[in-house]
Amino acid sequence: MEKLSGILVGSVNIVGNATLVYVNTTITDSAVLECSIQNKNITDWSNVRFYWQDNRDFVLYSYNEGKKMAEHVNDYYKHRVTAFPQDIIRGNISIILKNLTLEDNGRTFWAFAAVLDGSVMKRYHLEHTQICQVTLQIGVPYQNPMLDVNMETMTAVCTTQGGFPAPEIQWVLLYNSSHQSVESRNIQTTTMQNYHDRLYGFHSTLPIPAGPHKAVSCHIHNPTLNRTMTATHTLNKGAGVTSSPECLTSAAVFLLTALHWL
């Protein structure tokens, strides 16, 4: 998957290989459902027909021999979907789905295509064959976490809200030149989901163990967006100073996956 001009793009599937592709993106963003017809026997693309539909059989986009068939598009997708008309003549039947919401999360989409060869026999190279299959996974970034430490009871409390899906929480104790993950049995975490907007919040409490550690950190990882928010509290001989939360993002392999998310 790659990101072009702010739009997240999935992978290309070829004829005969409708492998499920996942596209991870952010709410209100746009995503390309990418699909390409690859058939060496097709030389005339003027008679290409294709359409996309979701797992409710709602049509997102319909195209027939040079024209967009807007009357076939379900109201849920009207004004939200565009194609690449300049590339259709090369077999690119990808579409862009705009203004994503959590209603689109987990939705699977299929592309079907047919290409008339233009001969007198009116023969199809493809006849409404399923070409591609794509599933969307929508995420909502979490707000900056709050980390409070009670030096009398030696407990740390980390909270945040307004994200999707449910977060993965990790506590880390920091030493002079190293860090150590805290085992889950020592942590009490409550995750809550708002019934109306479906967004999550959480409250996690860590009893700070005795030791030579200098600081404690709370990491909130969004598995769909592969994004982590971090808050750190420095332990200073009974007086604590809380650092500003920072966001760690990786487009490839997330660094902290090796720490075994809880």
183-218 per-position pLDDT tens digit: 878 899 999 999 999 999 999 999 998 888 899 999
User: What tokens appear for 81 in the block?
Assistant: 């979907």
* Residue 177 DSSP symbol: S
Q: What is the C-alpha to C-alpha distance for residues 230 and 245, in angstroms, rounded to an integer?
A: 5
pLDDT band of 138, cuts 50, 70, 90: very high
Question: Does the pLDDT of residue 250 top 90, yes or no?
Answer: no
Contact 101, 25 (CB under 8 A): no
The tens digit of pLDDT for each residue in 151-171 reads: 899 999 999 999 999 999 999
Please report the pLDDT score of residue 237 as a whole number: 53
> If one looks up domain 146-259 in CATH, what number appears?
2.60.40.10
Residues 6+ apart with CB under 8 A from 161: 142, 143, 199, 200, 201, 202
Mean pLDDT of 116-141: 74
Contact 34, 25 (CB under 8 A): no
Find residue 140's DSSP bridge partners: 164
For the chain, give every residue range classified as CATH 2.60.40.10: 2-139, 146-259
User: pTM of the prediction?
Assistant: 0.74
CATH topology of domain 2-139: Immunoglobulin-like (2.60.40)
Question: Does the pLDDT of residue 37 top 50, yes or no?
Answer: yes
Bridging pattern class, strands 30-33 and 7-9 = parallel
Q: What is the C-alpha to C-alpha distance for residues 156 and 243, in angstroms, rounded to an integer?
A: 14
